[in-house]
Structure 1
Amino acid sequence: MTRTLLTGGSGFIAAHILEALLKRGHSVVTTVRSKEKAEQIKTSHPGVSKENLDFVIVPDLSAPNAFDQAVVSDPPFEAVIHTASPFHFRVQDVKKDLLDPSINGTVGLLEAVKNNAPSVKRVVVTSSGAAILDFSKPHTYTFTDADWNNMTWEEATSNPINAYRASKVFSEKAAWDFVEKNKPHYSLTSINPPMVYGPIVHHIKDLDGLNTSNERIRDIAFGKVKDSCPFTGIFLWVDVRDLALAHVLAIEKLEAAGQRFLLSPGQYSNKDIVECIREAFPELRDGLPTGDALKPGDFPPTGWYGYDNTKSKEVLGISYRPLKECIVDTVNSLKVFVK
């Protein structure tokens, strides 16, 4: 059993990581922004003791010294998994709302662990495929864990979508730079998923509070895009449950130290999502796009980039779920909110 600090425990991805940690016998303290969020997580895990699941409130992850107290535990932490970072495009100021929280939160956590948690041996950071995928390359290019998105600050601040992608690039680079410069007592691992789909297990009041990536499945399944299937954009994906397991395996496997992992089972398109729903949910077929309305969601005529997930399978031992299982389980988790 490893005593683990999990940041941002009320989020879509972190909620699945928490489940995976507890299932594999680890004890967890997770950061939340409020007591209300802590109570919501407790309610989802009624049989788990305080010794195995506890909470610490960090209202603003980008504030100076935000994690100094959070990284201190009795018994002491041995691992940290950092997921807390904004992923949405409803922003007024891209620097303040996306870039600063991501960069400052990540570096601030690494510094807090270095200064206050000498027992920590492993730190795993949730980065993104956005830190790898550089769309200036030709579509015949195959991306690996060694690639970096070379977005500039000017590009990053031009719009919210670019700002999100850049926040992952800049925060991950800042993390690796911190480790290289400061030589802390822990190793760093980054997990780099592209589009993340999967069933929701975190608390939401209704489907308006859904995480950004699953909004796409919601809109397709429940008739919001019947007249035109959305353009897919990023044609790589991963199931959130496989992503969650990858984080836990990264603290369990010594060979994961100092590595980046591109997490994806392969390519997909929004048209594929439509067809998965059409086959599995006859009652939803009338609201799905058909014919010409499907075309925007298909693969581009020129094809799309390749990917190499070898390291995730050989080092972490990940076995990926198929798209249909992911989509069916996701839609079933969303249907409970539809009246």
Structure 2
Amino acid sequence: MRVLLTGGSGFIAAHCVDYLLQGGHSVVFTVRSHDKGRKILSNHPKASEDQLSYVIVEDIANESAFDEAVKSNPPFEAVLHTASPFHFNVKDPKKDLLDPAIIGTTGILKAIQRNAPSVKRVVITSSFAAIVNAKKHPETYDEASWNPITMDEALHTDPGSAYRGSKTFAEKAAWEFVEKEKPNFTVSTINPPLVLGPVVHYFNSLDSINTSNENVRDFVQGKFKDGLPPTRVILWVDVRDLALAHVRAIERPEAAGKRFFVTAGFFNNAKVADIIKKNFPDLKSKLPQNYEEDPKEYPYKIDNSRSKEVLGLQYRSLEDSITDLVKSLQAAGA
């Protein structure tokens, strides 16, 4: 299958490239600069230009950003759309988060509809942020759960609300597009919570590491020696399981038209500290000596059965994920 992968230099996309190539797919990824494109290619020296290449997309918030990128010879059959901003360094919620997420999503769907009639499957990276109800948790979260945030709350509350709003409205816009336009492709969305797991060495400096892994980097660097920080997000998934979910969602016909809550389950920072101490005894002195679990109890249940049944996911353990992440951080100079 010939696949367009957006956001090629991102944490999730880097692992998607690995699984796509392993699956025998031919991949074109989007990046903002030739420098980034060349770095990714250099990490896959055995891949020919037919198997792996890139196109430049400078600004995903531009309505026509993907018009040229979706054109290909041979033509694309599937698109993995992983490009979307995730940070809390927000000056203008609309410009920094909401527009890039929403316009980036509708923009690529319109571009495919106009310029890539051969595409049959589109998979979009959404988020648990589009599922969670930050004000009142239900008893159980699953694919039927939607964040009830309003645009007004997203624009005027805080950066966290702006981010959750951006993911919610972008995903809703995708489903509305399918409903109204009835395109000749299907859409599936993947909704992960906090994404942990090994960083890809050719990209991340320790300063620009993805937001999800920052805490673990700070553990390793001794920044929490005096005490654990509170666990803000209590659900997680390993980046490799998440990448595999994206690839299987284009490969399996039964994934079409579905939302997938992709999570391995609950965790907290105490468990992370315990795993680092157990597997990296030389780092013990950089970690706090005494701490309590936070939270002690989790405030809701989760149902991730669809991801196991339809996508065949077998989730990695937190220990495997943190151990591989720390090794990758050490390799990057932590």
Greater Cα offset, 91-100 or 116-125: 91-100
Structure 1 runs not aligned, ≥5 long? none
The correspondence of residues 76-95 of structure 1 with structure 2, limited to 5 A, is: 76-95=75-94
The correspondence for 1:141, drawn from 139, 142, 149, is 139
CA displacement, residues 91-139 of structure 1 (integer Å, 9 cap, x when unaligned): 221110111100000000000001110000000000001111112224x
For residues 25 and 122 of structure 1, what CA distance do their matches in structure 2 show? 17
The correspondence of residues 148-297 of structure 1 with structure 2, limited to 5 A, is: 148-157=146-155, 158-201=157-200, 203-204=202-203, 206-291=205-290, 294-295=291-292
Deviation of residue 70 (structure 1)? 0.4
CA displacement, residues 184-214 of structure 1 (integer Å, 9 cap, x when unaligned): 0000000000000010116335200101100
The correspondence of residues 316-335 of structure 1 with structure 2, limited to 5 A, is: 316-335=311-330
Q: Which residue of 2 aligns with 1:105?
A: 104
The correspondence of residues 4-153 of structure 1 with structure 2, limited to 5 A, is: 4-138=3-137, 141-153=139-151
The answer to whether the 8 Å contact 2:9/2:203 transfers is no
The answer to whether the 8 Å contact 2:201/2:332 transfers is no
Change (3 A) 1:26 1:99: same
CA displacement, residues 214-238 of structure 1 (integer Å, 9 cap, x when unaligned): 0011012221112121211221100
For residues 10 and 203 of structure 1, what CA distance do their matches in structure 2 show? 10
Percent identical residues? 55
The correspondence for 1:314, drawn from 298, 309, 312, is 309
For residues 65 and 46 of structure 2, what CA distance do their matches in structure 1 show? 30
The answer to whether the 8 Å contact 1:198/1:241 transfers is yes
- Matched letter for residue 321 of structure 2: C
For residues 118 and 130 of structure 1, what CA distance do their matches in structure 2 show? 31
For residues 201 and 179 of structure 2, what CA distance do their matches in structure 1 show? 35
For residues 76 and 120 of structure 1, what CA distance do their matches in structure 2 show? 8
Deviation of residue 89 (structure 1)? 1.1
For residues 203 and 186 of structure 2, what CA distance do their matches in structure 1 show? 34
Deviation of residue 162 (structure 1)? 1.4
Q: Helix, strand or coil: the match of 1:18?
A: helix
For residues 203 and 154 of structure 1, what CA distance do their matches in structure 2 show? 40
For residues 146 and 95 of structure 2, what CA distance do their matches in structure 1 show? 24
For normalisation by structure 1, the TM-score amounts to 0.96
For normalisation by structure 2, the TM-score amounts to 0.97
For residues 48 and 202 of structure 1, what CA distance do their matches in structure 2 show? 18
The answer to whether the 8 Å contact 1:15/1:202 transfers is no
For residues 209 and 14 of structure 2, what CA distance do their matches in structure 1 show? 13
The answer to whether the 8 Å contact 2:122/2:187 transfers is yes
Change (3 A) 1:170 1:300: farther
Deviation of residue 300 (structure 1)? 4.6
- Matched letter for residue 197 of structure 1: L
For residues 325 and 331 of structure 2, what CA distance do their matches in structure 1 show? 11
Change (3 A) 1:73 1:202: farther
Q: Helix, strand or coil: the match of 2:207?
A: helix
The correspondence for 2:294, drawn from 298, 304, 311, is 298
Change (3 A) 1:202 1:175: farther
Q: Helix, strand or coil: the match of 1:255?
A: helix
- Matched letter for residue 295 of structure 2: F
The answer to whether the 8 Å contact 2:33/2:56 transfers is yes
The answer to whether the 8 Å contact 1:10/1:202 transfers is no
Q: Helix, strand or coil: the match of 2:111?
A: helix
Q: Helix, strand or coil: the match of 2:277?
A: helix
Q: Helix, strand or coil: the match of 1:54?
A: strand
Deviation of residue 337 (structure 1)? 2.8
Which 4+ stretches in 1 moved above 6 angstroms?
A: none
Count, aligned residues: 333
Structure 2 runs not aligned, ≥5 long? none
